[in-house]
Amino acid sequence: MSLAIVFISFLLYAESNAAFANTTYPLVIWHGMGDSCCNPLSMGSIKSLIEKQIPGIYVNSLMIGSNVVADTLNGFLMNANEQVDEACEKIRSDKQLQNGYNAMGFSQGGQFLRAVAQRCPNPPMRNLISFGGQHQGVYGLPRCPGDDTSVCDYVRKLLNLGAYIGWVQDKITQAEYWHDPLNEAEYKKYSVFLADINQEVSINSTYKQNLMKLKNFVMVKFLKDTMVEPKDSEWFGFYHPGQAKTTFTLQESDLYKEDKLGLKSMDSDGKLHFLSIDGDHLRFSDEWLIENIIQKFL
């Protein structure tokens, strides 16, 4: 009798473990500059592809604002910290996400979701996939996305006027991850978003602890990117201070060497994944996405 009980208990344990191993976690998506949550040609198409590949998966494509128009404009004209706060609240209040979720960020959505991971650990983010995210910021906005570039062109003019002017930092999203290698001191002093999440001025141990809770942090770099300068930022690289020609890698940075964010520890644990695509910004095929992301990290 006791052997039968042990055997049945073993079967139930094995079954529960198998069910756990096959758990499909919900997914949060955050779009990039000039895009919206629900564009059928971009985020909508990706959402549909994932739902087709993983039947039954729940996908929350974040809308920042009350409608698609506001969502698009907010990607240019809303303070990044406020956007992250709104995203955290939407994630916290979504009952489908309470047991954990995976996250995919496109372009600036990549560093914004990293900020979510660092600042808002509940519910827990499991895997973070960043497509062309600018994790060390940008020093240039060479090309605007989409057909209507009027807002983007306005933002470019303001960045050239002075990215670290108070009202520009407060109101222009791209200014808040603008990283001037010719004046690192000014960047560290006045950047209201990127300098904070990258531990440039002071160390927030909670940021490090929270980021290290990720199971995997995947960074996708586009080798022919004409929108991000420098494209090395997509793997946490950037220009050497004092000039804007030669770059350093993540592994050569103080951020990594001093393990300010836990990236060195995560790398040692096999949690960092550096993927590349021989194409322009956010240009990848469905087949590539299925093989390299969906089948491995979702």
Catalytic residue numbers read: 107, 225, 281
Residue 115 one-letter amino acid: A
Closest CA to 188 of 291, 180, 39: 180
* Measured distance CA(288)–CA(278) in Å, rounded: 12
Helix residue ranges per DSSP H, the chain: 2-21, 43-53, 68-77, 80-93, 108-119, 150-162, 166-171, 184-190, 194-197, 205-211, 254-257, 263-268, 286-289, 295-297
Q: What angle do CA 133, 136, 141 make, to 5 degrees?
A: 70
- State CA 167 to chain mean position distance: 25
Q: Is 205 helix (H, G, I), strand (E, B) or coil?
A: helix
The first and second tokens of residue 184, run together, are 């690192």
Closest CA to 25 of 134, 129, 130: 129
